[in-house]
Chains A and B, each alone.
Chain A
């Protein structure tokens, strides 16, 4: 009964027809796992295992190969061997992080040493597995990674939506929104901004409408999801 329970999310996906990459790429929401291992046998075994449960995978022989590849914007995760010729898995992890690439990383290693594991996990690795690895363990971790990426991507999309809406606010509306988010009363806001309470109420109504919030509570949550640099805008 391998994989049927733990990988419920994945097995819910219809079995993939063996289609050329170009056609599969149309479905931008299908997860894609990137495998980087210098050992070809391990690489292809990993790929085949993932394909057997309907997860697309692409293999790379080195970190350089991956960095030079043209990758589709699809959710998924990275399976990295720690020790490879040239830049190691840990090097790649750093490199991706510094470029804002948030793809979750699963490390595979022939010889897990504690220092390395700690370093990888601190840098945000999903997991650190030692070779040889059990298929179920790996698939579980891969699923976790994919789910995490999907969640991240959803969150990122949401934030982007909010930012877009926020950008449509007038400067005055933004000021009112910031003050509302601080929990200040209309009266106080009107006093601080030197406008009438009625005007504040009007702005507030516009902001709620433009940000597509249904209540003040939701508006405040949306505000909190906005990137820090926006929230800190024009702050004293």
Chain B
């Protein structure tokens, strides 16, 4: 790795001089070294920097090294003991002993290629002893003489990979022979230094590997990653983030990308909340927000934020593009909506069709109370227009008419509820009551077909959670189907038994008829859409009924009735919330 040092040194020679190349060494004499180094510090250096020379030495090691140079200066009784570090094209006082008469300040830099003692040590990679430079032609004009340092003992210090780190050396203002013992001591310290450098390098490699991993993650562009500050700026971003918000690298470098500007007004409160959460906890639970893209459009994102420990007011954020997910969600919602709509339409069509079959029955159901109303009112008129009006009996007749009128309203409301097309609501309901209403509506149909209806509605059934209209629709279908099936028979007794009973966790409803019954195949296929044994009808009824019952968390099935006919049964789970 010597070559790299040479290269660095060579680079330094070409570019780093602030003073003209022809400048005499004497010129330096009139200036303090400090100010000269300062002027050098401002130099724009574009030397390709290897990782090692830029590596930080941790403070605890710096303290140890300080102790070493202090001891060294004490033991050798010299004004200066130094650890120098090469930072091409300069060399820097890395650690300087805190000893009397030491002119070297830490962090001072000097140019290489100026004939420094250390330069020779680094180039030769060998220890160097200069007992008295003033007596030595080769060292007579080296820069350190200006500081009065005429003797020197130094050894090279290397990184574990052999690359030069710098030197450890002592300097004296007087002539000094430096015994071999001192050289051995110096070499010993050098070994200590090199052991430290090994551990630093190892730690560095680890960090590098970790960083490389992180870099790969960032560059993989699976999610957008940004470094941001509280002032609203985005300091760094990967290309996925830039893609999400539609900016480019140039925008980023010119500081035009600002998370504050990209946040729509309605999301600013949420943002403020996130920042306060960040202050308290150091991280923010991922939340969804929107960004305004460069083209003004909006983009939904999921963002997770963490603060960077070392840097106050900065943080890292992970940004996930939710566009695709939102689109998929919207599509799912839309198809769900369409499905619901279609189901609603079908259910409604089925209700209309079933009610259509019951028109005569419903008319009858309404005509009965209308007949009663008219009769009662006409009776009242008679009582009032008598020669001796009977007010009391007229009033009674009118009272009865009022009750009849309410009954009409009930029938009309019930029918209207079934005809209406609207999303169904699930309420707490008493199933017996709902079923009784349907039996009322189908009464005429049942009578017309000479069917005897028997009911066995269990008392004290638990309340269920369900849609009244839908449950009634199921009952309507089952009853009309049963009546229709029985009407095909010639002379047999036509019986319809409707029963309810409580089971462990549900209410069981059964509709049994004494009709021709279902064949094995019919039982299996009865619930398929468009399957019908009738000459009229779409064959959707039972299929719709089954989906209604299943939508309520129950089951609908068919079986043979005993001794004859078919039995359709369904369950509706008991709504535990409604129990007291």
Contact = CB atoms under 8 A, between A and B. Distances in A.
Interface in B354-399: 360, 363-364, 367-376, 378-379, 381-383, 385, 393, 396-397
Interface string A86-110: 1010000000000000000000101
B379 A48 contact: yes
A85 B364 contact: no
A52 interface: yes
A135 B378 contact: yes
A10 to B, nearest CB: 12
Given A41-B404, A85-B447, A52 B367 contact: no
A221 interface: no
Contact of B360 (A49, A111, A134): A111
B114 interface: no
Contacts of B369: 41
A85 B453 contact: yes
A49 B453 contact: no
B382 A110 contact: no
A52 B383 contact: yes
A132 B364 contact: no
B364 A2 contact: no
Interface string A27-53: 000000000000101101110110011
B356 to A, nearest CB: 16
A191 to B, nearest CB: 61
Contacts of A86: 452
Contact of A45 (B360, B372, B381, B385): B372
A133 interface: yes
Interface residues of A, number: 27
B555 interface: no
Contacts of A48: 375-376, 379, 393, 396-397, 400
A84 interface: yes
Contacts of B383: 52
A205 interface: no
B375 A135 contact: yes
B444 A83 contact: yes
Interface in B466-507: none
B407 interface: yes
B382 A49 contact: yes
Contacts, number: 93
A53 B367 CA distance: 24
B379 A110 contact: no
Contacts of B382: 2-3, 49, 52-53, 135
B368 A41 contact: yes
Contacts of B62: none
Contact of B385 (A2, A49, A132): A2
Given A2-B385, A132-B370, A41 B407 contact: yes
B525 interface: no
A1 interface: yes
Contact of A2 (B381, B393, B452): B381
A110 B407 contact: no
A14 to B, nearest CB: 13
Interface in A101-135: 108, 110-111, 131-135
Nearest to B396: A48
B403 interface: yes
Contacts of B6: none
A110 B378 contact: no
Contacts of B404: 41, 45
A169 B447 CA distance: 55
Contacts of B400: 41, 44-45, 48
A42 B375 contact: yes
B279 interface: no
B448 interface: yes
A131 B378 contact: no
Q: Count chain B CB atoms within 10 A of each CB in A1, A48, A88, A111 and give the residue with the most.
A: A48
A151 B382 CA distance: 28
Contact of B378 (A83, A88, A108, A134): A134
A39 B447 contact: no
Nearest to A50: B379
Nearest to B403: A41
A108 B375 CA distance: 13
Nearest to B452: A85
| Nearest 5 Cβ contacts at the A-B interface | A45-B375, A135-B378, A41-B372, A132-B371, A110-B364
Interface of B: 360, 363-364, 367-376, 378-379, 381-383, 385, 393, 396-397, 400, 403-404, 407, 444, 446-448, 450, 452-453
13 contacts: A2-B382, A41-B404, A42-B371, A45-B376, A49-B375, A49-B382, A85-B447, A110-B444, A131-B371, A132-B371, A132-B373, A135-B379, A135-B382
